[in-house]
Structure 1
Amino acid sequence: MAFLKLVLVFSAAIVLASSKKGGKKGRLRSLTFEINELKARKNDVMVISGEEDLREERCAKVCAGTSVKGETNWVDFSSNGIYTDVDIRKCGFVTIPTVTSSLEGTMSHWSTTGSSEIYSVTTDTFRIYLAAPHGRGGGANKMGWNVEWIAVGYTC
């Protein structure tokens, strides 16, 4: 929205600066053109397909975040794995979003697998499992592992 206001102010300045050349009709045409251009670009988010039926483009939203480095709630799973549930409820999705994730850390996260495989997505959470025996027993938090994510979905 701030970008839109900035462009409108900039456009108005251009129109005023050129008003001496084109007169009132020229200014009106220029301003109308600028407004139509902005309306066409007002929503840069487009969902092409999703888990549920598509909705109005104006309702599409990109939301991103990270779990807390060193404090992510990693749960030991099997003899060589861990998992965590990531809270995305602040995004306000009303349909199941498309989620992409990766693992950030200060050491050894390069040796894990599973950070981009998403499980159990809802409008509020998703889960990832990691094959990472050295991450068990609190090791993941000691190595600063956290989940970086981006979700795209509808909020209305």
Structure 2
Amino acid sequence: MALNEGIAAPDFTLPTDGGGSLTLSSLRGGKVVLYAYPQDDTQSCTNEALSFDALREDFAAAGAIVIGISPDSVKRHDKFKQKYGLRLTLVSDEERKAIDAYGLWVEKQMYGRHYMGVERSTFLIDAAGKIVRVWAKVRVKGHAEDVLAATREL
């Protein structure tokens, strides 16, 4: 079950691309856009990453950092970022602890086949660490722009 607006964002500490580590609660005092996506280097996931990355400076001007999260490995994130020249931060949740905490590991269906995977979702988290907006079952086109507009209003 996905999380709702108005609750504290579950904290996590996860490895990032480039061999770093990120703890969500360490970002308190600023806004966070946490977008969850299924897999690096697929068409929709690449388009979403490129869209958020293109607006990275606009998000920063609005007082927000953009973080992508998927169950892909750090090594895969590094290759993905290098291939597309991405500058945003990607965290690796191979054990799906944060993905599960956010209720994003769900049954999906494609071409009549049922399988488990990450539901593409975005969370806007305020400076106090509270989820103030949730976008579930995201359609990529125009999404980053919608999130930026909501971030500016916060």
Q: TM-score range by the shorter chain?
A: under 0.3
Greater radius of gyration (CA):
1
With normalisation by structure 1, the TM-score equals: 0.22
Higher RCO, Cα 8 Å, sep 6+: 2
The TM-score with structure 2 as length reference comes to 0.22
